[in-house]
């Protein structure tokens, strides 16, 4: 049961946090000037968007859940299982950010999921 709770906390707040950060960035608009002072201004604007802070807090929650999960489960199980976050991320992008996830992108995301799982299984 503890493992299931940690697992849900890794996948959903972790990925949800990244989606919130993405939403914050879309609110600000596309970066077209890459000079250091323009990037610094962009970061300043990003930090003023509440979605950014919600995202960072959720990502922190996901990170601490990962630490908790590693204390109760084997690394060889934890990391391959977290590969699922790529599929959840694509679904979240579609639902919460209105992205068009084409069948081709879905196939790519699922191949990446399997690849990440294999990398960690192969690590032992």
Partner 1 sequence: MKSPEGLHFKTSLMILLMVIFGPLGDILLGKGMKKIPAMASWAPADVFHFFFAAFTSPTVWLGIGSLLTFFIAYMVVLSWADYSYVQPASALSYGLIAVLAYAVLHEVISPTRWAGVLMICFGVLVVGHTSPRTTPNTGSTTSAAITPRAAERAS
* Chain residues in the site for partner 1 (CB under 8 A): 18-19, 21-23, 25-34, 38-39, 41-43, 45-46, 51, 86, 89-90, 92-94, 97-102, 104-105, 107-124
> What DSSP string runs through 52-121?
HHHHHHHHHHHHHHHHHHHHHS-HHHHHHHHTHHHHHHHHHHHHHH-----HHHHHHHHHHHHHHHHHHH
- CB-wise, 1 or 103, nearer to partner 1? 103
- CB-wise, 1 or 100, nearer to partner 1? 100
Provide the minimum distance between the beta carbon of 8 and partner 1 in the complex, in angstroms, as a whole number: 19
- CB-wise, 5 or 95, nearer to partner 1? 95
Provide the minimum distance between the beta carbon of 22 and partner 1 in the complex, in angstroms, as a whole number: 4
CA torsion sign for 63, 68, 70, 71 is positive
- CB-wise, 3 or 77, nearer to partner 1? 77
94/78 Cα distance (integer angstroms): 26
Provide the minimum distance between the beta carbon of 2 and partner 1 in the complex, in angstroms, as a whole number: 25
Provide the minimum distance between the beta carbon of 9 and partner 1 in the complex, in angstroms, as a whole number: 18
47/38 Cα distance (integer angstroms): 14
């Amino acid at each position: 049961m503890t493992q299931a709770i940690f697992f849900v906390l890794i996948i959903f707040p972790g990925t949800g946090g990244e989606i919130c950060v993405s939403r914050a960035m879309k609110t600000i608009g596309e970066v077209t000037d890459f000079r250091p002072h323009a990037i610094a201004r962009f970061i300043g604007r990003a930090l003023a968007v509440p979605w950014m802070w919600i995202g960072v807090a959720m990502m922190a929650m996901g990170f601490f859940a990962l630490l908790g999960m590693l204390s109760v489960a084997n690394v060889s199980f934890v990391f391959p299982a977290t590969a699922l976050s790529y599929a959840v991320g694509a679904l979240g992008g579609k639902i919460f950010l209105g992205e068009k996830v084409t069948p081709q992108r879905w196939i790519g995301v699922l191949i990446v999921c399997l690849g990440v799982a294999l990398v960690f299984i192969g690590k032992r």
